[in-house]
Amino acid sequence: MAEGAKHLVRIGAVVAAMIVLMSTPCKSQESHIGNLTGLAKRGRPIYARYCVGCHGERGDGAGENAPHVNPQFPQPRDFTVGLFKCRSTPSGSIPLDSDLFDTVGRGINTTAMPSWFPLTRQERADLVAYIKTFSPRFRDEKPDPAVIIPPETALTPASLERGKGLYEANKCGECHGKDGRGDGPSAPSLRDNKGNPIPPYDFTTGERFKCGQTDSDLARIFLTGLDGTPMPTYVDYLQGDQIWDLIHYLRTLQTNHKHKTLWARLFAD
């Protein structure tokens, strides 16, 4: 009997080990967004429910649905690399927790990444904590401080004219096209950091950018670049008011951009 009992103990140990292995170890990763603390262990089932289809169980962007993402869209992000488009930190830095939190809630416009705003704030914070477990960068590095956006300048005809000149001088049209339609001569050959085709933004459709919809959001993109994509940072090329000159001009390309309607003002959240 003693031998039988030992055998049972061994079997029990095997079962316990299997359960531990099957539950995929979550590193004790946390996220901090304001007064919210997200926990990776709580984020894991949320990731499994909402994200795994595209981003994959290992966070490598190789989910079951990834091959079937609309070919017009970029491929799902590979979290293991630790490169993220939408950040407030300088190019090359890992993002702040709040950057990832905002991206999850806002989605990435004109891509397959929807807005997960309907998830509770706690769920989104937990999700951010779990996403961070995929890349060792979040364990080994600290994010740089957020970039500082200069105060907005006045919208004037002269500003628009200067912005148009900057658009040409910085060769924005090479990718985004002369009229901002995303059809520049380099557009067909653009690739992301994994070698997948990635279309440049078409300013003439929609009202929002990939990382937000306000002028400040666009200014932040110029200062941080979109890591993992061909869109570089222009922090060294656009000085002071030049950022706002360029933004003022780009808004003129955005034919769908308009001020909120009366109804939107009355009823918008």
Each residue 142-181 as x (binds other proteins by CB under 8 A) or -, in order, gives ----------------------------------------
Position among 26, 62, 81, 112 found at the interface with other proteins (CB under 8 A)? 112
How remote is the C-alpha of 123 from its chain's centroid?
17
Part of the chain binding other proteins (CB under 8 A), chosen from 108-116, 128-136, 192-200, 216-224: 108-116
Q: Which structure tokens are listed for 76?
A: 């799902």
Position among 33, 40, 54, 147 found at the interface with other proteins (CB under 8 A)? 54
Contact residues for 239 (Cβ-Cβ < 8 A; gap 6+) = none
User: CA distances (Å), 248 to each of 181, 244, 257, in order?
Assistant: 17, 6, 12
Position among 119, 149, 160, 235 found at the interface with other proteins (CB under 8 A)? 119
Structure-derived torsion over alpha carbons of residues 159, 257, 84, 108, reported in degrees to the nearest 10: 180
Q: Which structure tokens are listed for 109?
A: 């416009």
Position among 121, 164, 178, 251 found at the interface with other proteins (CB under 8 A)? 121
Q: Which of 118, 132, 117, 115 is nearest to 43 (CA)?
A: 132
What residue type is 22 in one-letter code? M
Query: Distance between CA 175 and CA 207 in Å, rounded?
Result: 19
Residue 15 or residue 169: which is nearer to other proteins going by CB? 15
Q: Scan residues 194-213 and list those touching other proteins (CB under 8 A).
A: 205-208
Q: Which structure tokens are listed for 9?
A: 């103990």
Position among 20, 25, 34, 68 found at the interface with other proteins (CB under 8 A)? 68
Residues that bind other proteins in the complex, under the rule CB under 8 A? 1, 3-4, 7-8, 11, 14-15, 18-19, 22-23, 44-45, 48-50, 52-54, 57, 64-66, 68-73, 107-122, 205-208, 260-264, 266-269
